[in-house]
Amino acid sequence: METILSSHSLHPILNPKASISKNLLLPSQQPRPVSLFLSKPITCTPKKPTSQLVKPSLAEPRNWFVHAQQGLAALAISLALNFSPVLYTGNAIASEFDVINEGPPKESYVIDDANVLSRVTKSDLKRLLSDLESRKNFHINFITVRKLTSKADAFEYADQVLERWYPTLEEGSNKGIVVLVTSQKEGAVTGGPAFVQAVGENILDATVTENLPVLATEEKYNEAVYSSAKRLVAAIDGLPDPGGPQVKDNKRESNFKSREETEEKRGQFSLVVGGLLVIAFVVPMAQYYAYVSKK
């Protein structure tokens, strides 16, 4: 057992007997101290591990601060976009003024600012109105807007567009402007002297009172615009008036009965109640009389 504990493979600290036996020898006989035991702890310095531990602790707060700055910047931008009154009012009232400032459309005859017309309707309008202009030299523009804030009604706005787009009499004499306001369910038709004379007052009034408001009330904006265009073109060509849409009678039938029906039902009800009362009194009395007579 003692031989196993004094094995050379064990460290001197773990083998106390070996260290005592070495101290009992003479100084000349004692072996020189081995520097391996002291050199290992000295050379194993903790500089590298500590530097690795310190760097993450310093970088983590720095990364957190950068993320916090980015988050605050994104929040500030979001609040500015959502609550800025300048941006909100600009989007709310910019449409009608943009239509006036942009001028007449160059490649088409339609400015669909309300975004209610389909591609098929725009294509049909372009084909119909371009054919009219090539034959009769009359140019008609159709405009749709959601809401008017600068003018009282569609007629004032249409006149303003005509004066702004065609400032001289020569430019606007054969021009026509048709405006449809989707939120107010109304429209207007205006134009230069030559255009008004070619269409006629009756067709102009009929288009404004029938085609545009009736179909717009039913939210049939494509039909309202295209039917108005066909009616104006037919008038300029001297063809028979195709007419406007038929106004539907939206009156609902009343669920209340008339006075005559009420009186008739009341008489029938009185007869039924009277008959039930007679049966309720007469039948028990007859049964009682029959029972007493048997006795």
pLDDT tens-digit series, residues 11-22: 444 444 444 344
- 76: tokens are 């500030």
Question: What is the distance between the alpha carbons of residues 244 and 235, in angstroms, rounded to a whole number?
Answer: 13
Q: Please give the average per-residue pLDDT across 28-53, as a whole number.
A: 43
* pLDDT of 273: 76
Question: What is the distance between the alpha carbons of residues 124 and 228, in angstroms, rounded to a whole number?
Answer: 13
The β-bridge partners of 111 are 143
* pLDDT of 37: 37
Residue with more model confidence, 260 or 283: 283
Q: Residues with Cβ < 8 Å from 222, sequence gap 6 or more?
A: 116, 117, 118, 120, 121
119-165 per-position pLDDT tens digit: 999 999 999 999 999 999 999 999 999 998 877 789 999 999 999 99
Q: Please give the average per-residue pLDDT across 44-73, as a whole number.
A: 53
- 210: tokens are 């029938």
* pLDDT of 274: 75
Q: DSSP 3-state assignment of 57? A: helix
CB 87 within 8 A of CB 81: yes
For residue 7, name the pLDDT band (cuts at 50, 70, 90).
very low
Mean pLDDT, the chain, rounded, equals: 75
Question: What is the distance between the alpha carbons of residues 187 and 215, in angstroms, rounded to a whole number?
Answer: 11
Residue 53 has pLDDT above 80, yes or no: no
Residue with more model confidence, 27 or 185: 185
69-107 per-position pLDDT tens digit: 676 677 667 665 555 443 333 333 447 888 889 899 988
- 138: tokens are 């009359």
For residue 166, name the pLDDT band (cuts at 50, 70, 90).
very high
Residue with more model confidence, 3 or 293: 293
Q: DSSP 3-state assignment of 21? A: helix
User: Residue 101: how many CB atoms within 10 A of its CB?
Assistant: 9
Q: What is the fold of 94-237?
A: Diaminopimelate Epimerase; Chain A, domain 1 (3.10.310)
User: Residue 103: how many CB atoms within 10 A of its CB?
Assistant: 12
* pLDDT of 72: 66
Residue with more model confidence, 114 or 34: 114
Give the whole-number percent of the chain exceeding pLDDT 70: 61
Residue with more model confidence, 276 or 57: 276
234-258 per-position pLDDT tens digit: 999 999 999 988 766 544 444 545 5
CB 226 within 8 A of CB 244: no
CB 203 within 8 A of CB 241: yes
Least-confidence region, from 6-10, 259-263, 290-294: 6-10
User: Residue 249: how many CB atoms within 10 A of its CB?
Assistant: 6
CB 154 within 8 A of CB 179: yes
Residue 112 has pLDDT above 50, yes or no: yes
For residue 62, name the pLDDT band (cuts at 50, 70, 90).
low
Question: What is the distance between the alpha carbons of residues 159 and 190, in angstroms, rounded to a whole number?
Answer: 7
